[in-house]
Amino acid sequence: MQILRVDMGTRTTSWEPLDPAYQELGGRGLTSALINREVPARCDPLGPENKLIFAPGLLTATPLVNTSRISVGTKSPLTGGIKESNAGGVFPLALARCGIAGLVVEGAPGDQGPFLLHIQEGETYLEEAQDLKGMRTYRLVEILKERFGKDVAVMCIGPAGEYGLSCASIQSTDVDMRPCRAAGRGGLGAVMGSKGLKAVLVSTKGRSGPTLSDEASFKEAAKLFSALIKKNPFTGRMLPTMGTACLVAPVNNLGAFPSYNARKGVLEGWESVSGERMAEVIKERKGRPTHMGCSQCMIHCSNEYVDPDGNYLTSSLEYETIWAMGGMLGISDLDTIARLDFLADDIGLDTMSTGVAMAVAMDAGYKRFGDTKAAIEMMEEIATGTDMGRVLGNGPSAVGKHFGHDRVPVVKGQSIAAYDPRAMQGNGVTYATSPMGADHTAGNLIGQYLSGNLDPLSPEGQVEASRRAQVSVAALDCTGLCLLAGGAMFSPEGSELMARMLGNRLGKKIEWEDVLEMGRSVLKAEKEFNRKAGFTKEDDRLPRMFRNEPLPPHNKVFLIEDDDLDKTFDFLEI
């Protein structure tokens, strides 16, 4: 496996062997280590000194299911700190099969561009693509398919990335070659736009994936691991039936679904946007409630949401999007939420930060909660680059500053996710202390709350639970395994199998403690970078609204003391 470097300043590409120091790193581990080592922490995120790094996981392109995941790392224009955003689709598998452990994009092309980067096994080239400038992602991918055929995987940006907006995403094509999978958080699309890259196209015909020390043994372990995924009720039954939207009902029942810009913990009419209702609607309209979105996936949590006439609206309608484009805006109409989801993918926007940005605007009186027409109009303003569109597209903090409104649910500039920290105290610890900013994928405790193993309303045990989750997820992000399959990885049998497969991949004996140490090393690199960038413990705080405003229906506030938050990562000794 090699590193492919692309210098956008000189428009040259080069191959280099993977540094021995990085031989045992993949995914988030590799992106965070390279960013910490090579990017000046105080640099302009949209300047030539920043780098954009794509890294498949250590186990991507092996026989293990659910490993077509890629980490995209950079210095974030949204948070000002280190950032990793994870995406699925076909691209991760294709990149790994071309023998690429990491794609490093550096420099900037000045006024030239945009460009397409073409990658085949052992061959790369850049192509100028002025005719594609400003194009939305769905039309872009259609044109790329016409020009280059179906045997390519694509990661691309829409207008938001070209504008340099802090909510801009990088869109990844799914198995049906639609740009509906996203590396959404942190404004990575803006960094890609600053590099002059409109799209990266990778051949799906590569055959140079990672080597295994004992392929037969690996396949045996992978088969047993797959059985654990299928056996787990969440991944084996709930996700294939309703997708991640299966969480809408339980989180509303917990009073933890932040709605109306986090003024309430329950969305009025949430039953009409629940996973159960969504599956019914899709079936009634002859859509596909169960769909394979990513290569190698056995869970099939994706869906194809269609309109009343059976026409495609979006894929996949996820829990977090139903929250951000629904709950936070006071919208309980699935068709509107699906339309907003499609627009986000087409324009190239993170549904979460964009939805919360619009919610802050509504909370400030710019528009009315529940106004479906206004929500779609705001998305189109972002797409066309109006003054207000640029404010919205730069995220919730920019909107709060514009309106002089202080109810802005962000940490380090990044919006919270679909779990209110007043009703899920440990998720609040993760939001506050993660190097990524408020990020549910960094260490979500929803499983512990729903299982009854942890009281979501009590401060007791929350810091320790968040710490364990953040370390575990950081390790998982190195492997390339989908986060939704994490339940299998963190079971006693699954952890043993994962250590066995990683050892097979790396050609050495691996224990589960070694896997966790991998996660700790990732967090240490990320915390080091943020410290160099000027972050202090004062940045590891939730907004005052969460401490001062009780959340209905439980009427709780966030209870974890600042001193306890500061102890979350004491063990890293940075």
Structural tokens at position 172: 């990844």
DSSP 19: P
DSSP 549: S
Q: Evaluate whether 509 touches 16 at the Cβ level (below 8 Å).
A: no
Residue 573 confidence (pLDDT) above 80: no
**Number of Cβ atoms within 10 Å of the Cβ of 380:** 12
**Number of Cβ atoms within 10 Å of the Cβ of 475:** 29
pLDDT at 209: 87
Residue 267 confidence (pLDDT) above 80: yes
pLDDT at 15: 95
d(CA 164, CA 391): 12
Residues sharing a CB contact under 8 Å with residue 30, sequence separation 6 or more, in sequence order:
22, 53, 55, 71, 73, 101, 102, 478
Q: Evaluate whether 401 touches 421 at the Cβ level (below 8 Å).
A: no
d(CA 24, CA 34): 13
In the beta sheet, which residues pair with residue 301?
Answer: 291
Q: What is the mean pLDDT of residues 485-489?
A: 94
- 408-437 pLDDT, tens digit per residue, is 999 999 999 999 999 999 999 999 999 999
Considering only CA atoms, which of 212, 236, 216, 214 is closest in space to residue 66? 236
DSSP 418-439: SS-TTTSHHHHHHHHH-TTSS-
The structure tokens 């105080």 sit at 42
Q: What is the mean pLDDT of residues 227-254?
A: 96
Q: What is the mean pLDDT of residues 334-359?
A: 98
Q: Evaluate whether 258 touches 322 at the Cβ level (below 8 Å).
A: no
For the CA atoms of the chain, what is the radius of gyration?
A: 22
Structural tokens at position 506: 């790396």
DSSP 395: -
Q: What is the mean pLDDT of residues 204-227?
A: 95
Please tell me the pTM assigned to this model.
0.97
pLDDT at 225: 97
Binned at pLDDT 50, 70 and 90, residue 301 comes out as: very high
Percent of the chain at pLDDT > 70 equals 100
Residues sharing a CB contact under 8 Å with residue 106, sequence separation 6 or more, in sequence order:
5, 6, 7, 8, 9, 48, 51, 52, 195
Residue 294 confidence (pLDDT) above 60: yes
- 466-481 pLDDT, tens digit per residue, is 999 999 999 999 999 9
- For the chain, give the mean pLDDT: 97
d(CA 540, CA 435): 9
pLDDT at 574: 56
Binned at pLDDT 50, 70 and 90, residue 334 comes out as: very high
The structure tokens 């920019």 sit at 398
- 51-65 pLDDT, tens digit per residue, is 999 999 999 999 999
Q: How many CA atoms lie within 13 A of 295 on its CB side?
A: 27
Query: Which domains, ranges and CATH numbers included, belong to the chain?
Result: 2-203 (3.60.9.10), 237-420 (1.10.569.10)
Binned at pLDDT 50, 70 and 90, residue 572 comes out as: confident
- 401-410 pLDDT, tens digit per residue, is 999 999 999 9
